[in-house]
Amino acid sequence: MANHNEHLETLSEIRSMMERSSRFISLSGLSGVAAGSFALLGAAMVYIYLGLQPFSNYKIFYAEALRNGKWGIDYVTFFLLDAALVFVLAVASGIYFTTRKAKRKGQKVWDQSALRMLSNLAIPLIVGGIFCLVLYRERQILLIAPATLVFYGLALVNGSKFTLNDIRYLGLCEIGLGIIGLFFPGYGLELWAIGFGLLHIAYGLVMYRKYE
Amino acid sequence: MKHLLEKLETTKLDNRIRLGIMSILMVNDWVDFGTFKEMLGLTDGNLASHMKVLESESYVEMRKLFVGRKPQTSYTATVLGRKAFNDHLAALEELLKSGS
């Protein structure tokens, strides 16, 4: 019956209108895959720099870090450079893939919903950043990695209300990993590689298959 | 079945565009004219005439603000508008149930 289908169509149209006008749905799964890959590469660089295997004893890890001045740079500079590079590459690829997806679907990338998602994402992230700076100042280095995971997870949960809902579960996983890290300090890099690397890749693939 | 159809027509929401406008307003506080135009793919005149219908039913409220030097017209759904939208959806759902 024709009427039936027409009403069904109306309902799905309403639904899509509500989603499109309130949520940022152009977020591309591929950007997660790219960000995760860069994170894994970044973690690998640290292991190469220290000449260590993953899941080796953390006491060796920091002893090596302090002793090691490979390639003419000390470990703090190296870690910061490495992290900054991963961050820039991840954000750049995120912008690239998301813009591409939006263009392909004929949607605007930068609109009210994008702004709302980013501002909600930014609040826990900035607080977390300041918190980690304080940890660094207080010489609580071991807690920094798990703390970044916890705050990043909180940022995702907060931002998920304004984008694809799946992000919420990714956020919860990151928080869980971070909390595990708080109780097992010294495995920060391993947890980072899992949280920022593997989880992003896994989530990116799931989202790509689901929405693109 | 017939009374259900009548129920759909009593609200002024039996029109796709007006229903679209209300859908957007159900999940956003204030939405400006330009956003509606873009989301629904309408011309100024077309959108304005539908807005007028919604306004005359008191389903939406208008406000004009100056953003820099440009006036910006935004709309929000009234309590009455929200009720009409929910009633309309409920009627649609009922219709689907009885039809299948």
Q: Break chain A into its structural domains and give their ranges.
A: 26-211
In the three-class reduction of DSSP (H, G, I as helix; E, B as strand; rest coil), residue B49 is classed as helix
**CB atoms < 10 A from the CB of B64, how many?**
9
B21 with B62: CB under 8 angstroms? no
Predicted model pTM: 0.72
Q: Which residue has the higher pLDDT, B78 or B93?
A: B78
- Chain A hits for B93, Cβ within 8 Å: 11
B27 with A18: CB under 8 angstroms? yes
What pLDDT, on a 0 to 100 scale, did the predictor assign at position A171? 92
> Measured between alpha carbons, how far is A122 from B64 in angstroms, rounded to an integer?
30
Please, which pLDDT band fits residue B3 given cuts at 50, 70 and 90?
A: low
Amino acid at A210: K
What pLDDT, on a 0 to 100 scale, did the predictor assign at position A103? 81
Domain made up of B2-99: CATH architecture: Orthogonal Bundle (1.10)
Looking at the complex, does the CB of residue A21 fall below 8 Å from at least one CB of chain B?
Answer: yes
What pLDDT, on a 0 to 100 scale, did the predictor assign at position A9? 81
CA distance A12 to chain B (A): 11
Chain B residue closest in CA terms to A10 = B16
Q: Which residue has the higher pLDDT, B11 or B52?
A: B52
Whole-number percent of chain B with pLDDT over 70: 87
Q: What are the tokens at A133?
A: 């700076």
A7/B95 touch (CB, cutoff 8 Å), yes or no = yes
Domain coordinates in residue numbering, chain B: 2-99
What pLDDT, on a 0 to 100 scale, did the predictor assign at position A15? 82
What pLDDT, on a 0 to 100 scale, did the predictor assign at position A176? 95
B38 φ, ψ (degrees, to nearest 5): -70, -45
Mutate to test the interface with A, among B2, B32, B96 (most CBs of A within 10 A): B96
Judged against a pLDDT cut of 90, whether residue B4 lies above it is answered with no
What pLDDT, on a 0 to 100 scale, did the predictor assign at position A23? 75
> Measured between alpha carbons, how far is A36 from A33 in angstroms, rounded to an integer?
5
CA distance A130 to chain B (A): 32
What pLDDT, on a 0 to 100 scale, did the predictor assign at position A61? 62
Mutate to test the interface with B, among A9, A10, A163 (most CBs of B within 10 A): A10
A17/B23 touch (CB, cutoff 8 Å), yes or no = yes
Looking up tokens 């229903």 gives: B19
Phi/psi class of residue B67: alpha, beta or left (left: φ > 0; alpha: ψ in -120 to 50)?
Answer: beta
Judged against a pLDDT cut of 60, whether residue B100 lies above it is answered with no
Phi/psi class of residue A105: alpha, beta or left (left: φ > 0; alpha: ψ in -120 to 50)?
Answer: alpha
Half-sphere exposure of A187 (CA within 13 A, CB side): 15
**What are the per-10-residue average pLDDT scores of chain A (212 residues)?**
72 81 78 89 83 65 63 73 88 87 75 82 92 88 88 92 85 94 84 89 87 72
